[in-house]
Amino acid sequence: MVPSITRRRRRELVIAAVLLAVLIVLPLPIHDVYTRNLFIITLLFAGLAQAWNILGGYCGQISLGHSLYFGIGAYVSTLMFVNGHIPPPVGMIAGGLVAAAGALLVGWPVFRLSGHYYAIATVVVQEIGYLLALNWDLIGGASGVFIPFRGESWLNLQFRTDKLPYFYVALGFAAVTWAVAWWLEGARLGFSWRAVKDDVVAARSLGVRVFRSKMAAAALSGFFTGVGGAIFAQYVGYIDPDSILSGQLAILIALPAVLGGVGTLWGPFLGAAVLIPLREVSSSYLGASGNGFDLMLYGILIMAVALLRPQGLASLGAVFRRNANGAP
């Protein structure tokens, strides 16, 4: 298993580089605040979905409680900035590390469970975190934390007049998660996850340390989810348990990967690119009066994709490729 860069993997890199270049110039002519916000949120969730994909996709441990790590990252970096004047770029890493530690702490008991027992345990752990945050006054409790404005700068990661820098922060975040996923696909760790996902018993007999490799996936996944949470907090300037630790958010982190294709390199991005704008647009136009129409649409979309494209949207790419090449 020499991690040689095959032709396919090299092609993925080229596609990613082109896409990155396009995305770098894309927002420049767009000045509409709403559209830029849409781009930023979409990129952020693309990265989050990719982070989720490390554990849920590549390693096959479907976590329905990832908002816990998102929340941890957001709280750590925010509290460090608000109370300790530590710049968010540092806080972000610290938040990611604490989130990774959290993921390990959660994984230690939870990875002994399997199937639905595991999935439900992830929800429960997240829900415990939510309830504790709601009642812990030291970290703002239910009323949350406002992030004071301390001057426009990259060090403070605060930009008031123009939100464009956030776009690049989110883009960088998404790009890094992609690069990590790309690297993992060729790395030893990636192989052992695939074995764990396919058949735990067989993986064991191949000498894969199942528990350890799950823990590694949890730590990586938790780290990047935490970093995403920190970026989100800095972007919106206010956090509370409902916005960063909720069960709905946990699903929203997992959904793009599911819709796009779990355990695939492009699935989470594709899913985010479709789902997030659709959701934002439908909830701002259709659901403005809280009439529930946006939820109906969202629900139908999820059901339709799950039933019609169980391998995810990324599998459409394979269909196109097959047609283009004229051979299976």
Partner 1 sequence: MTIETLLQVAVSGLLMGLIYALVAAGLSLIFGLMDVVNFAHGELMMVAMYAAFTLWQMSGLDPFILLPIVAALMFGLGVAIYRLLIARALSVRFNRGMVQIFVTFGLAIFIRGFMQFVYGGEFRSITGTWLANRTANIYGVYLPLPQVAASLVCLLAFAGLLAIGRTEFGRALEATREDREAVALIGIDRDRIFALGWGLGAATVGVAGVMLAGFYYISPNVGANFALIAYVTVALGGFGSMLGALAAGLLIGEVEAITAQLLEPSLKQVGMFAIYLAVLMFRPRGLFGKL
Decide: is 117 part of the binding site for partner 1 (CB under 8 A). Answer: yes
Decide: is 327 part of the binding site for partner 1 (CB under 8 A). Answer: no
Decide: is 215 part of the binding site for partner 1 (CB under 8 A). Answer: no
**Site pattern 142..181 for partner 1 (x: CB under 8 A):** ----------------------------------------
Decide: is 307 part of the binding site for partner 1 (CB under 8 A). Answer: yes
Closest CA to 230 of 136, 91, 324: 91
Helix axes 33-53, 247-260, angle to 10 degrees: 80
Decide: is 223 part of the binding site for partner 1 (CB under 8 A). Answer: no
Backbone angles phi, psi at 153, to 5 degrees: -170, 160
Q: Which stretch binds partner 1 (CB under 8 A): 27-35, 124-132, 163-171, 192-200?
A: 124-132
C-alpha to C-alpha distance for 297 and 306, rounded to whole angstroms: 14
Show the CA angle centred on residue 232, arms to residues 41 and 161, nearest 5°: 80
Q: Which of 19, 93, 104, 251 binds partner 1 (CB under 8 A)?
A: 251
Q: Which of 121, 189, 217, 275 binds partner 1 (CB under 8 A)?
A: 121
Q: Which stretch binds partner 1 (CB under 8 A): 3-11, 159-167, 183-191, 295-303?
A: 295-303
C-alpha to C-alpha distance for 210 and 126, rounded to whole angstroms: 23
Which residues inside 57-76 make contact with partner 1, applying CB under 8 A? 62, 64
Q: Which of helix, strand or coil describes residue 208?
A: coil
Alpha helices per DSSP H over 55-114: 67-84, 88-110
Tally of CB atoms within 10 A around 29: 6
Q: Which stretch binds partner 1 (CB under 8 A): 27-35, 173-181, 220-228, 302-310?
A: 302-310
Which residue type sits at 132?
L
C-alpha to C-alpha distance for 232 and 108, rounded to whole angstroms: 28
Which residues of the shown chain bind partner 1 in the complex (CB under 8 A)? 62, 64, 109, 112-117, 119-121, 123-125, 127-128, 131-132, 134-135, 247, 251, 255, 258, 262, 290-307, 310-312
